[in-house]
Structure 1
C-alpha cells in the first residue's frame, strides 16, 4: 500500500500544525492517513487507497459518507438561504421539539457548538442550580477538553490530568471508579452536601466501551436524589446511536436531570446541546442567572442537518440495520478471539464495537456461555471477573500492542479503525455485510 502523499502531507502539517494535527487522537503511528473523500462506508486517502471506515468521524456519521437525499436537501436549502444570522430561526425550535419528544429526560434544550461546550455549560448550570461547587466524575470517563473534568486520581488525591489546568480546578472534581457503587456511596458520605452533580457517560465510550453493571446507574440516581445533586448523562457519543431515538438513557431505563449531546445531533456539523428538566434548564440566561451564550449556537445549517438526520432515522430502518451489522461484527470478532486470542474482550452494543486486548481470561469452563456479541456485564458469564469494568481495567490492557501493531496491520489491510485502544468504533447505515466480512477476514490475519 503506497502512502507517499499521506507522509508528505504529514511532513508539511508538522511545520504549521502543532503535532501535525488539529485533534490529538488523529496523530496515529507511523503517520496519519490523510483522507481525500468518502464513499458510503469507505474512505479514499490522498494516495488513492480505499478503506472500510469504522471511524465514522468518531461517531457523528450515522449514515456514513453518502448522506440520504432528504438530509442533503435540507443542508443545501439552509446554506443557500444564508450562512448564519445571529438571531433565532424556526429550524432550531423544530429541532429542539424533536429532541424533547423522543429523549426521556429532555423538556428544554440549549444548543451550543461542541460536545465539550455542552459539558462545560452543563457543569456550570448544575453548580448554579445547586449553589455547590463539587462534581463527581468517573475515572477513565471523558467529557471534552474542559478544566473541570481533565482531572485524575481519587477523592483527596486528585490532580489535573494535563498541563495548563490549575490545581484549584482539580480541588472541586471528585473522580471515582465507574461501576463501583460502594465508591459512589463513600464519596457522597464524605462530600454529599457539596456535590452539585454526578457527570457520567451512561456507557464509558472513550475507555474501550465499558457497559454499566446491573443497578449502577440506579445507585447514582438514588444518591443524587438523596443529597439534592443533579445526575448528568454525557450522551455526546451514545446520544441517538445507542438506544435509538431514546438514546442510552431510554435503553438503560434511568432518567438523568440533564443530558449533554453532540455528534449525531448535528448531522455531521459542529454542534452540541444540553437538555433536561425545564426547572433546571431555565437557570440559563436570559431566563435565569447562569450565563451561557455563543455566536454560532443554533447555527441554521447544523440545525437543519441534525433535524433531518433524526427525522430520517425515525422514518426508516436505520437503527435496525446498523445494530444488526454491529451484532454480526461483535459475534464474528468474538469467535475469532476465542480461537486466536482468548484473553481478549469484545465490547460494544448497538452500533458500537471494539476489542480490548485484556491480558487475562477464564481458564477452562464452558466459554460457549460467554456474552456472544460483546460484554454485557453478565454475572453468569465465565468472563465476568476478567472483563473491563472501569477505565483503569482498559488501561491495563495491551494498549501499545493494539495501537502499534494491530491497528497498523488492519490499516495495511484496508480497514480504518480509531486511533487507539480507548476510542469507540462505529457502524453506519452505509456499511454492508460485505464490509463486515472483509473486516473479519482482516481480524483473522491481524490477530
Structure 2
C-alpha cells in the first residue's frame, strides 16, 4: 500500500498538534493513516487505500458510515435550522424519553458532550447525593480523562497515573480488581461509611474485553445497597450495543443507580449522558444543588442523530444482524486460534470482539467457549482467561502492536491500535466482510 499522503499529513500534524493526533489512541507505528472518507463498513484513507473498518469510531457507529435516509435527513434538517440555540429543544426531550422507555434503571437523563464529561458528572453527583467523598473503581479500568479515576495502585494505596493530577485526588479513589468479590467486600469493610459509589463498566471494554464472573455484579449491587453507596455502570461503550436497547445492564439483569452513556446514544456525534433514578438525577442543578452545566449539552444535531439511530435500530432488526455477525466472527476466530495459537483468548459478546494475546492456555480445548470467553467455571480455559485489567496487561501487547496490527492493516483490515481497545461490528458489515476478516486473521496469526 502507498501511504505517501498520510505520511505528509502526519509531518504537518506534528508541527501543530502534540504527537500529531488529537487522541492518543490514534497514534500508530510508524505513523497513522489519515482517513479521507467512510464507506459503509469501510474507510478510505488519504492515499485511496480502502480498509474493512472494525474500529467504527471506537464504538459510536452502530449503523456504519453510510447513514440510512431517515437518520441522514434528521441530521441535515437540524443543521439547516441553525447550529444551536442556548435553549431547550423538543428533540432532546424525545431522546430522553426514548432512553427512559428502554433502559430499565433510567428514569431521568442529563445530556452532556462526551463520555468523560458523563463520568465526571456522575462521580460529582454520587458524592453530592451521598455526602461522601470516596469512590471505588476497577484496577486498570478506564472512565475517561478525569482526575478522579486516572489512578494506579491497590486498595487505598493509590496515586495519580498521569502527571498534572494532584495526589489529593487519588486519596479519595479506592481500587479493586474487576471480578474480585473478596476485594470488594474487603474495601467496604474498611471504608464503607466513606464510599459514595462504585464505578465500573459492566464488561471491561477499554482493557481487553473481560466478562464478569458469575455473581460479581450481584456482589457490587448487594454491597453498595448494604452500605448506602451508589452503583454506577459506565455504559459509554456497552450502552445500546451490548444487550440491545436495554444495554448491558439489561443483559446481566442488574439495576444500577446511575448509568453513564456516550458513543451510540449520539449517533456518531459528540455526546455523553447521565441517567438513573429520578431522586438521584434531580440533584443536578437547577432542580438540586449539584452543579452541572454545558454550552453544547443537548446539542440539537447530536440529539437528532442519536434519536434516529436508536429508532432505526429498533425498527430494522439491527441488533439481530450485528450480533449474528459477531457470533460468526468470534466462532471463526476461536477455530483459528485453536489451530494456530491455542494460548490466545477470543473475547467479546454481541457486536464486540477481540483476540487477546494471552501467554498460556489449556492442553485440551474440548468444551471451551465457542464464540468468545464467557467466564464459565466449567470451561477448560477458565483459569487462563483474563479476569481483570492486570491479566490483560500481561498479554503480549508489544507483539500485538508491532507485528499483528501492521500485518492486518496491510491486508486492508482496520483494527483498534492496541491490545486493550475493543473492536466493533456495524450494520453495514456483511457475511463476506466477516469471511475476509477471518482470512486476514489466519494469515496474520
TM over 0.5: yes
SS of residue in 2 equivalent to 1:187: helix
Query: Which of 409, 412, 416 is 2:410 aligned to?
Result: 412
Q: How big is each residue's C-alpha offset from its partner over 1:283-314, in whole Å with a ceiling of 9 and x where there is no partner? A: 00011000000000000000000000101111
| Structure 1 unaligned residues grouped into runs of 5+ | none
Cα distance in structure 2, aligned partners of 1:139 and 1:10: 34
Give the match for residue 220 of structure 2.
220
Give the match for residue 163 of structure 1.
163
Matches of residues 44-443 of structure 1 in structure 2 within 5 Å? 44-363=44-363, 365=364, 367-443=365-441
Give the deviation of 1:200 after TM superposition. Answer: 0.3
Give the deviation of 1:259 after TM superposition. Answer: 0.1
Cα distance in structure 1, aligned partners of 2:115 and 2:169: 20
Give the deviation of 1:32 after TM superposition. Answer: 0.4
Is the Cα contact below 8 Å between 2:366 and 2:380 reproduced in 1?
Answer: no
SS of residue in 1 equivalent to 2:435: helix
Pairs aligned (count): 445
SS of residue in 2 equivalent to 1:231: strand
Give the deviation of 1:156 after TM superposition. Answer: 2.9
SS of residue in 1 equivalent to 2:100: helix
SS of residue in 2 equivalent to 1:353: strand
| Structure 2 unaligned residues grouped into runs of 5+ | none
SS of residue in 2 equivalent to 1:70: helix
Cα distance in structure 2, aligned partners of 1:336 and 1:155: 39
Cα distance in structure 2, aligned partners of 1:433 and 1:164: 47
SS of residue in 1 equivalent to 2:366: helix
Q: How big is each residue's C-alpha offset from its partner over 1:320-344, in whole Å with a ceiling of 9 and x where there is no partner? A: 0000001111011110000100000
Cα distance in structure 1, aligned partners of 2:134 and 2:154: 13
Is the Cα contact below 8 Å between 2:159 and 2:170 reproduced in 1?
Answer: yes
Cα distance in structure 2, aligned partners of 1:124 and 1:156: 19
Cα distance in structure 2, aligned partners of 1:33 and 1:168: 40
Give the deviation of 1:175 after TM superposition. Answer: 1.0
Cα distance in structure 2, aligned partners of 1:197 and 1:156: 15
The structure 1 segments of at least 4 consecutive aligned residues displaced by more than 3 Å after TM superposition are: none
SS of residue in 1 equivalent to 2:154: coil
Cα distance in structure 2, aligned partners of 1:411 and 1:368: 32
Give the deviation of 1:8 after TM superposition. Answer: 1.0
Cα distance in structure 1, aligned partners of 2:47 and 2:388: 39
